Structure 1
Amino acid sequence: MDYIEKAVRKAKNAQQFKGSGRLGPALEGPVQYTHTKVQPADQEVLQANRILSLDAPESWAEPYKILRTQVLHTMEERNWKTLAITSPGESEGKSVTAANLAVSIAMEFNRTVLLIDANLRRPSLHQLFGVSGEPGLRDYLLSRAKLSDLLVNPGIPDLVLLPAGRKAANSSELLRSPLMKRLVDEVKHRYPERMIIFDLPEVLAKADTAAFAPYVDATLLVVETGKTTKRAVQRAFDHLSDTPNLGVVLNKARN
């Protein structure tokens, strides 16, 4: 645990704040959108994938409420809108963290969130919510598909998902392309009041994340307690040094 604690202290701009109250208003009736496709997620799918819902136990939801408070405080203080979530290695919980942070923010009053699956090598957000993964980001980057035709609401008010689409072998090139930068600029200006969260590949495994990170306002690193080494955390920070870092999320920590 000591190596993780030291890594946390090295996180740029890391701050601690107490969590706020309940997640937010109850979901009442089906969600209706004029242009966005609505594919309500099955509650059993959400529960199986450990994605927050109204039935989630308080002990499960509380860590994400605390994380939400920390993230929103720092982002709003600096007028930042775009956040990339990654991890040093595979299977450290970054996608579940990205999804639950997005849900937690969306459930707060007067908040809207756009969650983008930018892991073009191994997309997973659509599976976590139990919605269709195609078309998606890949179609925007390769086929010039309209962004409005790609967005999906998983039945959670104020949360919109842009799935990744089909896997892409040339994901590094796509993520650092001018079209990708245009997408980031487009969603920031089209949805000025919306928080935008990107789920990215592991930073040490591929070049994708380091190539894309300069396009966003900040990054957040997810590490698995007892698995991630201090050296891996420091290397991850080094790879992301050109973009402000909000800190570290300790996944599977006991306290």
Structure 2
Amino acid sequence: MESTVPVLDKTRTASLQPAARIEYTTTRSLEVSREVLRRHRLIAGYEPGPYLDAFKVLRTKVLQILREHGWNALAVTSPNPQAGKTVAAINLALSLALDVSQTVLLVDANLRRPAVHTAFGFTPRYGLADYLLDDVPIERLLINPKGIGRFVILPGSRPLPDSAELLASPKMARLVDELKHRYPSRIVVFDLPHLTTADALAFAPHVDAALLVIEAGRTTQTQLTDALTQLSTTPILGTLLNKAEPLPEP
């Protein structure tokens, strides 16, 4: 099992009122197997323990920063491929949904290689690609995994070769603006491609901030420096160290 250690700066905490109870009427609900969640290392499949606690710590620090600045749109990306950023993005979104102060929308913005739906064990009929290319209404795309309250997924569906251009398009910008402002208590988490492609850089201007997933033993200092340079105009919340070996018992 991957070990995840959050590394973020400390900030002040702002108080919020609890989000209203959500009753999903137009959003489709899907049964999701707990075993599938656990097999894909999603915290919703785990009992309380160190793995879940690590993401709760990350959740608390992320919320502190978002609330201090009045932000609600966060991108998750990585300097290199296969760093585990999709699992990290999903688990961060799930942990945010455990906080009663807001709802969470997880958007699979990896148009090149969408994978969020795979982690939950379902195949979407429609996704973000269908909205961008075929004008399928957003209401037909959204999915709530049953039993996970205040949490909705906008899946990616089929892969697209011209992904960077679509992510930078005016239509995508209008969608992000709508997602950010439709519900005042919503936090939107975008799972982006890694930074060795143009996609994340093209999408970065649409979000308030980004979180970088660093792969222990593989992400190099040069890759991290390059990533920070690429995202120089986007506030970086911090880094999340992924796939680290647990420390030996004293």
TM-score range, shorter chain: 0.7 to 0.9
The Cα offsets for residues 170-207 of structure 1, whole Å up to 9 and x where unpaired, read as: 00110000010001001111122100000000012x10
Offset at residue 57 of structure 1 (A): 4.1
Q: 2:64, 2:145 → 1: CA distance?
A: 26
Question: What corresponds to 1:62 in structure 2?
Answer: 53
The Cα offsets for residues 89-131 of structure 1, whole Å up to 9 and x where unpaired, read as: 1110100011001111111223210000000111110011112
Question: What corresponds to 1:183 in structure 2?
Answer: 175
Structure 1 ranges of 4+ moved more than 3 A: none
Q: 2:169, 2:208 → 1: CA distance?
A: 17
- For these two proteins, the number of residue pairs brought into alignment is 230
- Match of 1:164, as an amino acid? G
Helix, strand or coil at the partner of 1:234: helix
1:127-142 equivalence runs, <5 A: 127-142=118-133
Question: What corresponds to 1:170 in structure 2?
Answer: 162
Helix, strand or coil at the partner of 1:53: helix
- Match of 1:223, as an amino acid? I
The counterpart of 1:94, out of the listed 85, 102, 126, is 85
Question: What corresponds to 1:22 in structure 2?
Answer: none
1:108 lines up with 2:102 in the alignment: no
Question: What corresponds to 1:15 in structure 2?
Answer: 9
Structure 1 stretches of 5 or more lacking a match?
1-7, 9-13, 18-30
The Cα offsets for residues 43-97 of structure 1, whole Å up to 9 and x where unpaired, read as: 0100000001264341110110010011000001100010000001111010001
The Cα offsets for residues 197-236 of structure 1, whole Å up to 9 and x where unpaired, read as: 00000012x1000010011000000011111100000101
Q: Tell me the percent identity.
A: 48
Question: What corresponds to 2:241 in structure 1?
Answer: 250
The Cα offsets for residues 154-184 of structure 1, whole Å up to 9 and x where unpaired, read as: 1211100000011101001100000100010
Q: 1:198, 1:56 → 2: CA distance?
A: 26
Question: What corresponds to 2:213 in structure 1?
Answer: 222
Q: What TM-score, normalized to structure 1?
A: 0.86
Question: What corresponds to 1:33 in structure 2?
Answer: 24
The counterpart of 1:159, out of the listed 144, 147, 151, is 151
Q: 2:124, 2:225 → 1: CA distance?
A: 33
| Residues 52, 103 of structure 1: 8 Å contact kept | yes
Q: 2:70, 2:229 → 1: CA distance?
A: 24
Offset at residue 16 of structure 1 (A): 3.5
Q: 1:197, 1:74 → 2: CA distance?
A: 14
Helix, strand or coil at the partner of 2:194: coil
Question: What corresponds to 2:64 in structure 1?
Answer: 73
Question: What corresponds to 1:239 in structure 2?
Answer: 230
Task: Output the aligned Cα RMSD.
Answer: 1.7
Question: What corresponds to 2:38 in structure 1?
Answer: 47
Question: What corresponds to 1:5 in structure 2?
Answer: none
| Residues 37, 45 of structure 2: 8 Å contact kept | no
